Amino acid sequence: MRDAIVGRRDVARLGLAALLFLAAPTVGDIGSCGQEVAELDPPLFFAQKRTIDCESCTSCGLMTQACQHACDPAAASEPEFPPGCYPLVHDGEVCLRALRAADCDAYARYVDDAAPEAPTECNFCPPDRRPGGA
């Protein structure tokens, strides 16, 4: 009987197989998984985002103007997406899931008053991809 010897080729094959199967997007974050295609309702999306923002700001002890705005029931909400931007319901669901999963350090970047960031899952319509490129 021959002893099993693991060679470089075997290790390379195993590494390639692992890369192909393990370095994939999370199931459901690509495609709609059978969900009907529908445009995201801006008032509903922004209301849900605002709730998540306020909860995260409160639990993380963040005191930015963005947090104050999110937690102020009398403050006006963003009414719509930028012109030429038409995200789908699934896009909104993925974004809200990413916001809920963010830790306090990430959320501090999202609600920074000087230079707020957004998770890539929430970047529905980058300016360079909108009609007119604004």
pLDDT digits (tens, 9 = 90+) for 15-30: 666 555 555 555 444 5
Identify the bridge partners of residue 88 per DSSP, sorted by sequence position: 39
Question: Which residue type sits at 24?
Answer: A
Q: Does residue 88 sit in helix, strand or coil?
A: strand
In a domain, 22, yes or no: no
pLDDT digits (tens, 9 = 90+) for 121-132: 998 887 665 455
pLDDT given at position 12: 67
In a domain, 4, yes or no: no
In a domain, 106, yes or no: yes
In a domain, 45, yes or no: yes
Domain region containing 68:
38-125
Question: Could you tell me the pTM of the whole model?
Answer: 0.68
